[in-house]
Structure 1
Amino acid sequence: MILITKNKEPKEWTEYRNTPGVDYQAIPELVQSLLKEQGYICAYCMRRIPTKDKIYKKDGVNFVYTNEDHRVEHIKSREKHDDLKLDYTNMVVCCPGHIGAQDHCDRLKGPKDISFSPIDKQFIETIRYSSNGEISSTNDVYNNEMKDVLNLNTELLRRNRFLMLTEVISQINSTCKKGKNWDKRTLELFLKKYSEKHSEKDEEGTKEKYYPYCGIIIWYLQKKLRTLD
């Protein structure tokens, strides 16, 4: 995960939630605002969104696509916190939540609550990664919720983070002169690249996006830089 910096809510959402008697509904302007501020990656697993997930049938060969390409997630669930159901600061956007054979992220979380938030810098600072791409927290409560409530270490999620890290390490090795150790300037350049949004053109135009799974890269490079101080 990476720290999500919340922007001002879109005026269309302000108008909607101030309508007397209105209930929660993910209007398009709300969804687009969340996608934009998150750089089009899932708030929890950091996959690229919007995307469609495959749900395999019992034969393990045939599949159907999920009927959604994103999910608006209430960090504090609507079911238990009616007073927060229209609160923009309580909302993030997630992937459809079914990569491979397991549910994860909001699809698994459902009406349950978690005690941490991806908009909380102190929580993000507890995040750690192992060499095989597994995500964890130094806080036992957070760690258990990441595992049991969000299921962030499915085989494919862990593997995708590992492959992302492996690719970036290869890029750094190619950038550094042959036989030379990694230098601070090179690591800072790569940290800047993966910490910031980049312009990417798709069928809907040019968008500012984070690299998928960038959290593991940011953590790894920050750790390496501390050894050079």
Structure 2
Amino acid sequence: MKYIQKGNEPPEFTEWKEQQKPLGVEYCNYKNLQNPEKRLTHEALLREQGYICCYCCQRIDKQTSHIEHLEPQSKTEVELSVDYANLLASCGRDGNWPDHCGHKRGNKPIQVSPLIDNGEAFFRYSGGGEILPTNAPDKKVAAETTIDILGLNAYDLKKMRIEALDVWIGMTEEEAQLVAQDFKQQDTEGKYQPFCRAVLYYLKQYYGV
């Protein structure tokens, strides 16, 4: 899981909400959000996340992701369903729902959010592709629960993490430093490397960078 710094919502989304509010909450809610406002909001979420899933960090795009509500729609006020601060982009969409992340979670609340700036400190990664809870007593239970609810050790995710990590085995320290720099920032297309947090953890543990 990587920290996500929320940006500004698309002006078209803001304008749509202003138009809907006088009609009542039954109109100003996510169920009534349609294109182009919904598409533009989805695209904005992808850009601010660097085109990686808010939970597992695999590469996503418009066709392989959906708009996720951090606070589940069924457990919040209607207004929160169209609060941009509550929206993320998670892997999976109609016809292709993986057994992890937003789909796996359903309406269950998670204890570690990608919107908290120290969220990355709750997790470790193994060379076998697993995401593990930190050993810190004050964070371990929250991390374990979040990993379980989101299914972050699903077989396909572990396999993809192994593939991402295996590429960087056997490097020199100088090479590792260059790779780490690339994985810390977005590329020229505004994209983060998939599973960047796992790779950066690996590089720090084995190369000290």
TM bucket (normalised to shorter chain) is 0.7 to 0.9
Q: How many residues align?
A: 192
Identify the residue that residue 60 of structure 2 maps to in structure 1: 49
Identity %: 32
8 Å contact 2:42–2:62 — kept in the other structure? no
Report Cα offsets for 1:94-151 as digits up to 9, x if no partner: 11079x9961111111122112210212121121101201012222333333332110
Asked whether 1:110 is paired with 2:99, we answer no
1:54-203 equivalence runs, <5 A: 69-82=64-77, 83-96=79-92, 103-138=99-134, 139-170=139-170, 173=171, 176=172, 182=173, 185-199=174-188
Q: In 1, distance between residues paired with 2:53 and 2:97?
A: 18
Deviation at 1:73, TM superposition (A): 0.8
Asked whether 1:223 is paired with 2:208, we answer no
The structure whose RCO (Cα within 8 Å, separation 6+) is larger is 2
Identify the residue that residue 59 of structure 1 maps to in structure 2: none
Scaled by the length of structure 1, what TM-score is found?
A: 0.75
Q: In 2, distance between residues paired with 1:108 and 1:97?
A: 12
Deviation at 1:10, TM superposition (A): 1.5
Report Cα offsets for 1:55-112 as digits up to 9, x if no partner: xxxxxxxxxxxxxx311111111111124212211111011079x9961111111122
Scaled by the length of structure 2, what TM-score is found?
A: 0.82
Q: In 2, distance between residues paired with 1:97 and 1:129?
A: 27
Identify the residue that residue 32 of structure 1 maps to in structure 2: 43
Letter in 2 for 1:76: E
Q: In 2, distance between residues paired with 1:10 and 1:97?
A: 22
Identify the residue that residue 7 of structure 1 maps to in structure 2: 7
Identify the residue that residue 57 of structure 1 maps to in structure 2: none
Letter in 1 for 2:109: D
8 Å contact 1:115–1:142 — kept in the other structure? yes
Q: In 1, distance between residues paired with 2:112 and 2:121?
A: 12
Identify the residue that residue 191 of structure 2 maps to in structure 1: 209
Whose strand fraction is larger, Structure 1's or Structure 2's? Answer: 1
- Unpaired stretches in structure 2, ≥5 consecutive residues: none
In angstroms, what is the RMSD of aligned CA positions?
2.4
Deviation at 1:47, TM superposition (A): 1.5
Identify the residue that residue 66 of structure 1 maps to in structure 2: none
Whose helix fraction is larger, Structure 1's or Structure 2's? Answer: 2
Question: For 2:150, what is the secondary structure of its paired residue?
Answer: coil
Question: For 2:118, what is the secondary structure of its paired residue?
Answer: helix
- Unpaired stretches in structure 1, ≥5 consecutive residues: 53-68, 177-181, 200-206
- Say if 1:97 and 1:164 are closer, same or farther in 2 by CA, change over 3 A: farther
8 Å contact 2:51–2:61 — kept in the other structure? yes
8 Å contact 1:97–1:106 — kept in the other structure? no
Deviation at 1:9, TM superposition (A): 1.5
8 Å contact 2:3–2:118 — kept in the other structure? no
Q: In 1, distance between residues paired with 2:203 and 2:120?
A: 15
